[in-house]
Amino acid sequence: MTPTPEQDAALSPIMKAPIARQVFVCTGSSCAANGSEAVLAAFRALLTERQVLFQKGSTDGTVLCTTCGSVGFCAIGPAVLVYPDGVWYAHVRPEDVPELVEAHILGGEPVARLVRKRVG
């Protein structure tokens, strides 16, 4: 039998966390070769500093930040996806992360100069 949601919630604190947005940083081979790990690190550091990152010891965070596999932005990466907004960014560098966090992740306004696709 599949466990119930109540049973699962005891094992998975994120089930009750108030996640509002999820940031995916592509770590496919092309994006990785273009520095996406540094972009991921920059997001995690700044989101931690702003006290919004969901992570161990901070389970009331409203933002989750994970890797993802290739989305076809191989030639224009590093790619960063923000959902549920459905906004895809290309050419993201660590120095773009403060603007992306303040304007979009916290402020709700996508950063138009780096947007290359909208989903949904």
Question: Which member of 23, 64, 80, 111 binds a second copy (CB under 8 A)?
Answer: 64
Close Cβ partners of 88 (under 8 Å, ≥ 6 residues apart): 71, 73, 79, 80, 81, 82, 115, 116, 117, 118, 119
Q: Which stretch binds a second copy (CB under 8 A): 31-39, 43-51, 77-85, 97-105?
A: 77-85
| Cα-to-chain-centroid distance, residue 37 | 12
The residue count for the chain = 120
Question: Which member of 36, 44, 47, 73 binds a second copy (CB under 8 A)?
Answer: 73
Question: Can you tell me which residue has the tokens 């599949």?
Answer: 2
Q: Where are the alpha helices (DSSP H) in the chain?
A: 5-11, 29-33, 36-49, 97-99
DSSP codes joined into one string, 88-103: EE-S--GGGHHHIIII
State the nearest-atom distance from the C-beta of 55 to a second copy, in Å.
9
Contact status: 14 vs a second copy (CB under 8 A): yes
Q: Which stretch binds a second copy (CB under 8 A): 31-39, 41-49, 81-89, 103-111?
A: 81-89
Contact status: 57 vs a second copy (CB under 8 A): no
Which residues of the chain form contacts with a second copy (CB under 8 A)?
Answer: 2-3, 5, 8, 11-15, 17, 19-22, 24, 27, 54, 64, 66-76, 81, 83-86, 90-91, 113-114, 116-117, 119-120
